[in-house]
Amino acid sequence: MNEPSSLTSRVTDLLCEALQIDPPPAEMDLIAAGLLDSIGFMHLFAAMETEFGIGVTAADLSPDRFRSVERIAAFVSAKQEQAGPQAESAEAAEAATPPAAAAPASAEPAVLTDPRTGRERRRVAVSGVREVAAAVAECRAAAAGWAAHTPRERARRLLRLADLVEERSAEYVAAEQAGTGKPAAEAAGEVEQCADLLRFYAGALRTGRSPAPGGLLPGRESWVRWEPLGVVGVIVPWNYPLMMAAWRIGPALAAGNTVVLKPALTTPDTALLLARDAAAALGPGVLLTVPGDRDTGRLLVESDVDAVAFTGSETGGRDVVARAGLRRVSLELGGNCPAVVLPDAPPDTCQGLVAAATYNAGQSCASPARVITLRENYEQTVEGLAKAMAERRAGVDFGPLNNADQAARYDRIVARSAARVEHVAPLAPPPGEEDGHWRPGRILADLPADDPAVREEVFAPVLTVQAADDHAEAVALANGVPQALAASVWGARADEVLDLAGQLDAGEVWINCHLEQTAELPHGGRGASGHGTDMSVLALTEYQRPKTVTARVGRS
């Protein structure tokens, strides 16, 4: 008999630990190997436990039971009969059980609070070594089958997932609001964008790629095959739990990869719903969710994944790169984005900037954070921004900050700022939500270039304002921070705004608008804002690798 692989041995150890078997029986390696094969026993046991209420004990783990599909079916039927009238159908269990109940934990459950009230709202399992390893192994087992589907079939399944998200949009909106505190209109818009992104990539994957031009080599024909990477680990932040997940999993799945999704600890709700619906639409093991903390994310990066897509802080991105080794990594990090306002800017410029700066309570990497004006329109711009900020309503136009740490960051940076002019908008949280993480909108003006509010990304409804003597200084101030994600220019003369847009160091530049995005256009940063592309057909290349094939034709 062959010696068990190191992965099989590891699963054996985990099984024995979970089932409290010591010492391990001789047949345990065979069972562990079975768990890792394409039949997907781990998924079988999880389904029996969570969907039918049927427990699997050490006594059930006889290798004889798992040597054929017929014996597996007989085993499941027998266990279901033992469970009696308590056994529920998959549909009934889904309706009665919160999604988090299906996620086992190696650690104590995390207590999640509602950012609107500051009160506990639920507890969620924190995935540890066992859960991450099991999820990656299940995705690995499903990877070949998912990649083997024709583009038409993968597209059909992605469209079904988009339909499920749309059909259950009320559930997704409620879950997104509970975790983030967003106003209902914002949450609904992001659920709609999630479904739209899935549909976009369902179409994009069927367009194919342009082949290499012919005649490159005498008597040869060459072409390029685009192949999936395998299993992709996706780590998304708390500011856009569902939308950021869609940005990453849409192209990854369309490209033929399976995905293990790790949401932020404070916002696992929609990721768990997405994994539930993906199991029905895409098939088992194609998209799995491992809720957890930063340690869970580190475990995922260091696991048997083929690539990592990370959205988060610069510090987190550097840690991912250090842990990922030679595997492919895509990073979308901070923004601290500038907006250059010229004297002839449109009359609604200040309203547009404040609307973008307070969307999602300013917790958007691409939000405008630093307004830079020429001195001749500086006072007018500060007054216009202050007036527009005062008109924004808490709970209607923007929600609270996501968590206590983010609220503390806001307080710390504002306290350290040397702004000589400060406008603080009135703040009146909705009744009963006074103890939430609400923070007022602020305009901080007359700031030195090295002020903390300028150098650090506040990630809140805060705009700083700086004055420049001319276009050259405005560009220098705009490009004077390490981040280079997005920027905007506001003015009436096409030659001026286009010239400035070309000089701004950013992956995305808007003219007379800000924070407007669509699935068809790429988004990605430079420098401390990371590297890689989200959205558009270009994002598919983040999750595929090219293979050049050259064939001799004719007699030459």
Query: What pLDDT sits at residue 372?
Result: 98
- The answer to whether 437 and 181 have CB atoms below 8 angstroms apart is yes
Q: Is 365 a catalytic residue?
A: yes
Q: Which of 61, 117, 55 is nearest to 82 (CA)?
A: 55
- What pLDDT shows up at residue 16? 60
Hey, is 37 helix, strand or coil?
coil
Q: Give the CA angle between residues 337, 341, 347 to the nearest 5°.
A: 120
pLDDT value of position 4: 47
Q: Look at residue 219 in the predicted model and tell me its pLDDT.
A: 87
Domain limits, the chain:
6-97, 122-209+227-333+534-543, 337-519
Q: What sections of 88-128 are H helices per DSSP?
A: 90-96
Q: Which CATH class is domain 337-519?
A: alpha beta
Residue with tokens 């001799």: 552
404: helix, strand or coil: helix
- DSSP class of 523: B
Output DSSP code: residue 344.
Answer: T
What single-letter amino acid sits at 451?
D
Q: What is the DSSP letter of 458?
A: -
Backbone phi, psi, residue 55, to 5°: -85, 145
Instruction: Show the tokens assigned to 270.
Output: 């929609």
Q: What is the pLDDT of residue 26?
A: 57
Task: Return the pLDDT at 272.
Answer: 97
**414 and 464 Cβ atoms separated by less than 8 Å:** no
- Tokens 């719903």 correspond to 273
Catalytic: which of 139, 194, 350, 365? 365
Asked if the domains at 6-97 and 337-519 fall in one CATH topology, the answer is: no
Q: Which residue of the set 51, 131, 138, 332 is catalytic? A: 332
Kindly report the CATH class assigned to 122-209+227-333+534-543.
Answer: alpha beta
17 catalytic, yes or no?
A: no
Residue whose tokens read 């639920």: 122
Instruction: Name the β-bridge partners of 252.
Output: none
pLDDT at residue 211 in the model: 65
Collapsing DSSP to helix, strand or coil, 468 comes out as strand
Residue 152 CB neighbour total at 10 angstroms: 10
Residues 284 and 50: beta-carbon distance below 8 Å = no
Rounded to whole angstroms, the Cα distance separating 361 from 441 reads 8
Contacts (Cβ under 8 Å, ≥6 apart) of 107: 126, 128
Element (H, E) at 142: helix 129-148
CB atoms under 10 Å from CB of 448, counted, come to: 12
In order along its 556 residues, the chain shows pLDDT tens digits of: 444 445 445 555 665 665 666 666 655 555 554 554 433 444 444 444 443 444 444 344 444 444 444 445 455 555 444 444 333 333 333 333 334 333 445 568 999 999 999 999 999 999 999 999 999 999 999 999 999 999 999 999 999 999 999 999 999 999 999 999 999 999 999 999 999 999 999 999 998 776 677 788 988 888 899 999 999 999 999 999 999 999 999 999 999 999 999 999 999 999 999 999 999 999 999 999 999 999 999 999 999 999 999 999 999 999 999 999 999 999 999 999 999 999 999 999 999 999 999 999 999 999 999 999 999 999 999 999 999 999 998 888 999 999 999 999 999 999 999 888 889 988 888 899 999 999 999 999 999 989 999 999 999 999 999 999 999 999 999 999 999 999 999 999 999 999 999 999 999 999 999 999 999 999 999 999 999 999 999 999 999 999 999 999 876 6
Long-range pairs, 374-381, Cβ under 8 A, ≥24: 374/342, 374/343, 374/467, 374/468, 374/469, 374/470, 374/471, 374/474, 375/467, 375/468, 375/469, 376/343, 377/341, 377/342, 377/343, 377/345, 378/465, 378/467, 381/341, 381/349, 381/350, 381/465
Q: Which residues contact 111 (CB under 8 A, 6 or more apart)?
A: 120, 123
- Architecture in CATH of 6-97: Orthogonal Bundle (1.10)
How many other C-beta atoms can be found within 10 angstroms of the C-beta atom of residue 228?
22
Q: How many residues does this entry show for the chain? A: 556
Cβ contacts of residue 475 below 8 Å, gap of 6+?
A: 340, 500, 503, 504
Give the helix ranges, DSSP H, for 168-268. Answer: 169-180, 184-204, 241-254
